[in-house]
Amino acid sequence: MISIQSTLKNFSVAKDINQLLADLKELDFGLHIDERGVIYPVLIQNKCPLCSTKLSNNGYNHSQERVGKQLGLKFKKGKVICTNKSCNFQLSIPKEIIRLFNGAFWEWFNSEIISLGTKGLSPEAIAQHLKEMNIVSFSAEYIRLKLRDFAKKTEQPKYTEKPSGVIIHDEQFLKIKGKELKRISTLDAHNPNVYHDKLYEDRTQETMKQIFQELKIRLGDVRAAVIDGLVASKNAFETVFDNAIVQSCLFHYAQNIRDAYKEEVGYGKGKHSIPLDHMIGFFSIINIFFDHDREINELRKLQEERNERTYRINNSDLPFAQRQNYVEDYKMKYDETARKYLHEVKKIRRRVNGIKLTLRTEEQAKELLKEAKKCNVFPKKVQKQVTRLENNWENFTHCLRDKSIPPTTNKIEQYYALTLNWVDKNNLQSEEEFYQEQKFNLLKRYNIPFFNSGRFSIFLKTTFALFLTFGIT
């Protein structure tokens, strides 16, 4: 039985205080709060249960609960004793009551930690945030354990939308304490569904086959898949899904072209730059699929301007060595100008309202391939990539014939950027941490509520009631 009485002149929050104590049904005494805010236990008829002698209040002590102290609440725990000197009976307010007063705070506090954690803040950042708010100071390790406990208690979020029949498959490389791992993922092309997202030590054809077999059990038939340039993935998919379409990712193909150019003609530290003449060749290839006429036209203007200047220098009366130096300087200058221009165009395209790339038709792509081969002399490794395109034309161009098939795996690249960016992916402490973050990300992705959003208002209401009753006067 729990009851609460008060001699306070204004005890308008008695109902709220009683509500806080509603769970302590096992207690067989009531509570009394006097005008000083001291909480005393009250026994039936105010008699000693041992000798039936009258009981008497015998002072109080302050609770040591740090949350109450942090919030400015002075909980005074009273004690009653038997007036019979030969009787040793005494009764104090148990700690559980004071802790119960703090329950609303902890509900809100824990939900705040979880909310910040699911938004991608590190335990260190959360700890700093709470410290700056002057709430309760906790270590990053404490918060890390709280997040881990929440993740363990949370079931793996499940997608709810109907599979579209078109999937996207890609990999991400990461390190955990120096160990290289492969994050292999499969997403739906037309909705937020994540079908597979796990860590592996390899990405062999056998591993890929196992993944696709699991997907087939869950999804049934798949109509098409967009896959990166990994041959093992393509072969495994075609083995499991007999009649499905495989679209080779055009973004990965463009990367292969760029890498081939860098290996053959690149300069600078790590061969990060491609000369202007070869940059035109590079864009003539990727222009086959996406409209890059803007870049090609500007690069050709720079090329013509450079050629005019170097022509004048070569036909001047300057000494040969001096002419050579001037020509080389101009080449480097225009290479750098081209690089800066392309960097600015890239930034513009990344903006929300930036210039979007237009996908070609198959007829346009065929003509542009012929033009690229006619107008450019490709380095050996680049020519191999062009030949690869010709030999696998069908796989590269499904997206041109069927608009429901994406041309790239960029959706997964965006998923990776949101869930584990290039900095965080090499700073993971364990595989457990990876899967914990994955759960949090899927909760957000599927719009699954992970805590009661009204806890803050409950906390405020409770804190108000406590302040009126036990606050500093």
Residue 67: phi and psi, rounded to 5, are -65, -45
What's residue 137's pLDDT?
Answer: 75
Q: How is 220-278 classified by DSSP, letter by letter? A: ---SEEEE-S-HHHHHHHHHHSTT-EEEEPHHHHHHHHHHHHHHHH-BSGGG-B--HHH
pTM of the model: 0.75
Model pLDDT, residue 25:
47
- Has residue 17 been placed in a domain? yes
The number of CA neighbours under 13 Å toward the Cβ of 17 is: 23
Domain ends where: 354, 386, 407? Answer: 407
**Helix residue spans in 272-319 (DSSP H):** 276-286, 293-314
Could you please report the per-residue DSSP string of 18-83?
HHHTTT-TT--SEEEE-TT-EEEEE-GGGB-TTT-PBEEEEEEEE---HHHHHTTB--EEEEEEES
CA–CA gap between residue 393 and residue 253 (Å, rounded):
12
Residues 21 and 35: their CA atoms lie apart, in Å, by 20
Residue at 264 is within a domain: yes
Does a structural domain hold residue 254? yes
- Count: domains in the chain: 2
Closest CA to 406 of 351, 354, 359: 359
**Residue 340 belongs to some domain of the structure:** yes
Q: Are 76 and 102 in contact (CB under 8 A)?
A: no
Structure tokens at 20: 């806080």
Out of 391, 407, 423, a domain closes at: 407
**Which domain covers residue 86, as residue numbers?**
4-103
Determine, yes or no, domain membership for 14. Answer: yes
| Amino acid in position 221 | D
Q: Which residues pair with 198 in a beta bridge?
A: 184
pLDDT of res. 423: 66
Q: What is the DSSP letter of 173?
A: E
Separation in Å, CA 11 to CA 72, 100, 466: 19, 19, 11
Residue 425's Cβ-side half-sphere holds a number of Cα atoms within 13 Å equal to 17
431 falls within a domain = no
Report yes or no on 82 lying in a domain: yes
Q: What is the pLDDT along the chain (473 residues), one digit of tens a residue?
A: 344 444 443 445 555 555 555 554 445 567 777 777 787 887 767 889 899 999 998 888 877 666 666 666 667 888 899 999 899 898 887 766 666 656 667 777 788 888 888 777 888 999 888 888 766 678 889 888 988 998 888 888 999 899 999 999 999 998 888 889 999 999 999 999 999 999 999 999 999 999 999 999 999 989 999 999 889 999 999 999 988 999 999 999 999 999 999 999 998 877 888 999 999 999 999 999 999 999 999 999 999 999 999 999 999 999 999 999 999 999 999 999 999 999 999 888 877 566 678 999 999 999 999 999 999 999 999 999 999 999 999 999 999 999 999 999 999 999 998 888 766 777 788 899 899 889 988 988 998 876 666 666 666 666 666 665 555 44
Last residue within a domain, chosen from 374, 407, 440: 407
Please report whether residue 397 resides in a domain: yes
> Looking at residue 120, what is its pLDDT?
76
